[in-house]
Homo-oligomer: A and B are copies of this chain.
């Protein structure tokens, strides 16, 4: 049975890093006889330039027919403030999340042992770190209505957004988090600001309710400001973190930096059918785009995640993860993760090294 994979480079370093992940995917496809079929689509700034929309109709059609989508990154200074707001590159990402119903965003924050010494935190705080952040991705203040800029009663302009979650939206992401925790250390920490925000009062209540279905999993609650602190002083206390769209955006980025392994971290965004959208945690890094120095490993790890969650090929995923570790053990590093005694390689050399290690 063939499975359809859609590859989307996006902008900036997206082009070069997706190219490396493609090599790796094609290598395991052949080796493990996975029957993957590849197609290509566009999203973001270059998509807008060519098709007049950051999430073009053609990509939309292909996305709905795919079993897995591997994406690079999007955006860059050439589009900043150049287009109408609903046509900026980022809107392409928000649109595809919404269109495919990708409500469950998995962002592992794991420390690669080979990179612990390069982390900003002291090694003892980072070594062995393994958190799974589950971020609600299609609700909350990102999509809440009403929103906009209006003139108020005093005759001045005011900007406004609505943060909103319904019971069913909270319940749905709650189940995802508890089920993920069952396969791990069986602890869910739900992050909210229930001492101030009504929307998270309901969030907390529903999480308590969902927890009753998972007596084997321990639920705790933490305020978002405290979570931002705990990720710095004691990140290893967490197993699974579940939170809303905005807090998830902030905390998952903070956590990825804490690991010292941001150049390595993948992410998955899933919908009810578990067709999924996979992308590295990092951005499009326009400053180094086109120079063949970007780190393709987070994208390659995202390809592995896609094989596991969406393409029913967990063993091939495992092989890719192993190959990445072999390459790191050999001391190969792209510039961003360089450290003493290691060999600096280019983006494409890194991709080829992973293929070889397979």
Contact = CB atoms under 8 A, between A and B. Distances in A.
Contacts of A201: 85, 149, 159
A77 interface: no
A199 B160 contact: yes
A165 interface: yes
B257 A229 contact: yes
A232 B121 CA distance: 8
A71 interface: no
Contacts of A121: 120-122, 232
Copies of this chain, tallied across the complex:
2
A141 B195 CA distance: 13
A87 to B, nearest CB: 13
Interface in A96-155: 120-122, 125, 141-142, 144, 147-149, 152, 154
Interface stretch (A32-40, A243-251, A289-297): A243-251
Contacts of A258: 232
A326 B164 CA distance: 50
Interface residues of A, number: 57
B193 A246 contact: yes
Given A148-B198, A196-B142, A257-B233, A162 B159 contact: no
A163 interface: yes
Interface in A144-194: 144, 147-149, 152, 154, 156-168, 193
Contact of A166 (B122, B154, B163): B154
A141 B197 contact: yes
Contacts of A200: 159
Interface stretch (A220-228, A267-275, A313-321, A337-345): A220-228
Given A157-B166, A157-B167, A159-B200, 13 more contacts: A85-B201, A88-B195, A148-B198, A152-B166, A156-B167, A159-B164, A159-B202, A160-B164, A161-B199, A225-B250, A225-B253, A228-B251, A232-B232
